[in-house]
Amino acid sequence: MTPLAYRRILLKLSGEALVGAGDYGIDPAVLQAMAQEIVELHSQGIEIGIVIGGGNIFRGLKGAAQGMDRVSADQMGMLATVINSLALQDSLENLGIVTRVQTAIPMQTVAEPFIRRRAIRHLEKRRIVIFAGGTGSPFFSTDTAAALRAKEIKADVLMKGTKVDGIYTADPVTNPTASMFERIDYMDVVERGLRVIDSTAVTFCMENSIPIHVFNFKVRGNLRRIIAGEQIGTLINR
C-alpha cells in the first residue's frame, strides 16, 4: 500500500463552492458531492478538520464596502459560516459519518463551543470536526481561521480547496500566458501579492511550519490523489 502523504488535515473550503450554478445560497447537489468527496478521504483513515467560508450567504468585506460597520458585517459573515457548517454536517451524517460542529461564537443549542482538546479527541475517535464562526473575532478571514485551527489540532497540512487548479503567476482567467507553480515559498506568495489565500494565513503558517496545499476541489478525486502523494495543485512551504 502506498504510504499516505498526510494523516491529519485541515481542509479549507469556500462558501462560494456551495452555490453551484446560482449566485447565492446552497445547492443541495453540490453539497452532496462535496460531502461524498470528504467521506471517500475519511474512509482511508485520514483525520479531517474542516473550515468552510460563508461567502455564499454573506461576506463581511462586501458589507463593509457598502457602508456597514465592519465589526457588524464580519459578525454576520461568521454566522453565515455556521449555517454552511450545519448544512455540511447534515450531508456528512446522511452518509453515515459522525460529525461535530464547533463554533468560535458560543451557541450551545446549535453546536459545541470550540475546545481544542475536545476537537483533537473527536478526531482521534474518527469523527469529522467542522470549525465554524471563523476565529470568533472580526477583521480575520476564514483562511486565517483555518490556519489557526490547523495549528491548534496539530494538522499535518492546511489544504485549501478552490475553483482554480493552484497558484498562478497571474490570473489565468484574464492572462492566458499565466503559469502555475507546483511549489512556492511562503514569502514569495506574500511578496508577489498572490491572492488565492489570505496573506495573514500564509505568514501564520510560515511561522508555524504548516505546509499549505492549494488545489481545485471541483475536480473529483483531487483531494484523494493529493493524500496519495500525487503532484496536484500548488504546495506552499519553505
Q: What is the mean pLDDT of the chain?
A: 93
pLDDT higher than 80, residue 188: yes
Nearest to 201 by CA among 136, 154, 135: 135
Rounded Cα distance between 200 and 224, Å, is: 27
- Specify the pLDDT at position 172: 82
pLDDT, mean of residues 113-132: 98
Tens digits of per-residue pLDDT, 89-115? Answer: 999 999 999 999 999 999 999 999 999
Rounded Cα distance between 140 and 74, Å, is: 8
Rounded Cα distance between 208 and 148, Å, is: 10
Q: Does domain 8-237 have CATH number 3.40.1160.10?
A: yes
Cβ contact 145:204 at 8 Å = no
CA 205, 99, 213 angle in degrees (round to 5)? 25
- Specify the pLDDT at position 21: 77
List the chain domain ranges.
8-237
CA 128, 83, 134 angle in degrees (round to 5)? 70
Which residues make Cβ contacts (< 8 Å) with residue 86, sequence separation at least 6?
A: 101, 110, 111, 132
Tens digits of per-residue pLDDT, 48-63? Answer: 999 999 999 987 667 7
Q: Which three cell numbers stand for residue 183?
A: 511549489
- Specify the pLDDT at position 2: 59
